Amino acid sequence: MKLQPINKIKDYKVEGNMDSLINHIVQLQELTLIRDEQKAASHSEHLEQLNKSIATMTAELPEEEQAAYKKLFKKDHIVIVPVTDDNCTGCGMKLPISLVQVVRQKKGVQRCPNCARILYSAVASPKRVVKRAKRSAPRKVGINRFSSSSLMIPEIEADNMDDCIKIFAELMEAETFVSDADKLADLAMARESVLSTVVDHGMAFPHVRGIEGGALAFAMGKSTAGLSLGAKNQGLTHIIFFIVIPTAASAFYLKLLAGLTETFRDPEAVEKIIAETTPAGMWKTLVKLTRSTIK
């Protein structure tokens, strides 16, 4: 499978225009995070091409921004973050109104006073809907923190990835986990167009990063017969996780991805999930299977 969309990312040149510069850094960061995802899922097929694209895009940055990017990258792979509700989505700091206005006006490269990440003004996007737990409710642990039986689909009725994504997005909105299913689906499909999230062992991890307003959340669906979602040499996909990720949770998402991949490398684990026919049964089995892989 060729990584053609990555070449399309570089259809412009960085010529001192703030829109071009910010877009360049955002796309560079996205490629880096995609590479991190591939490593977390132990999927190395595209790593060489990703490394080349990342090196090329880094070299194309103006000298000052390139030095700043590399310095920030050593600390954290989240280098550039959107401003949401006047907050830095990287560290959560409430930003001075004057700084927010300058970011919106795109007057030079601006950074968060607390975490030093580069700031930019993002277009409106779906938000995570926060469900407040009762005071008497026990503290959630493991995978219980990120999903529930209401987000399990025992048999996903779809023929392609776009349809799968739409089903997941509509479910997450219906269960009041995330707002604006249509926009959420569009963003997930745009991410999928850069590089497929189908990995080995019959799994796929379509996702959207930058869904602010709460914690990471995911829905899970399965296909008993299997769906042809990836390259021909990848076989059928049986288990699909649809994940929405706040900017600040990007690093934890990689741990979740690694834990789920580790769990379902075991064919017996796959068989146990596929055998379940109800959302409650799927959820109970998922919690049990991930007890040692997701803390």
Please give the share of the chain, as a percent, with pLDDT higher than 70: 91
61's tokens: 């940055």
CATH 1.10.287.1490-classified regions of the chain: 4-121
Is 37:29 a contact under the CB 8 Å cutoff? no
CB 196 within 8 A of CB 216: no
Question: Range with the lowest mean pLDDT among 24-38, 87-101, 115-129?
Answer: 115-129
pLDDT for position 1: 35
Q: Which of 3-12, 227-236, 251-260 has the lowest mean pLDDT?
A: 3-12
Supply the pLDDT for residue 138.
65
Residue span(s) of the chain under CATH 3.40.930.10 come to: 142-289
Q: Are 227 and 236 in contact (CB under 8 A)?
A: yes
Average pLDDT across the chain, whole number = 89
The predicted-structure confidence for 66-87, as pLDDT tens digits, reads as follows 999 999 999 999 999 999 999 9
Q: How confident is the model at residue 3 (pLDDT cuts 50, 70, 90)?
A: very low
- pLDDT score, position 293: 93
The pLDDT value given to residue 259: 94
Q: Is the pLDDT of residue 15 over 70?
A: no
Instruction: Give ∠ CA 72-82-173 in degrees, rounded to 5.
Output: 130
Tell which residue, 79, 104, 89, has the closest CA to residue 245.
89
Pairwise CA distance, residues 97 & 226, whole Å: 51
Relative to beta strand 118-121, strand 152-153 is: unpaired
Which pLDDT band, with edges at 50, 70 and 90, does 117 fall under?
very high
Q: How high is the pLDDT of residue 141?
A: 78
CB 110 within 8 A of CB 134: no
How many whole angstroms separate alpha carbon 195 and alpha carbon 208?
Answer: 13
Q: Rounded to whole angstroms, what are the CA distances from 11 to 14, 42, 169? A: 10, 30, 30
Q: Topology of domain 4-121, per CATH?
A: Helix Hairpins (1.10.287)
pTM for the structure as a whole: 0.87
Q: pLDDT higher for 135 or 262? A: 262
pLDDT higher than threshold 50 for residue 7: no
What pLDDT is attached to residue 135? 56
What's the whole-number mean pLDDT along residues 248-275?
Answer: 94
Q: Which residue has the higher pLDDT, 125 or 206?
A: 206
The pLDDT, as a whole number, for residue 136 is: 56
pLDDT for position 12: 38
CATH class given for the domain over 142-289? alpha beta
* Sign of the torsion angle spanned by Cα atoms 134, 138, 144, 149: negative
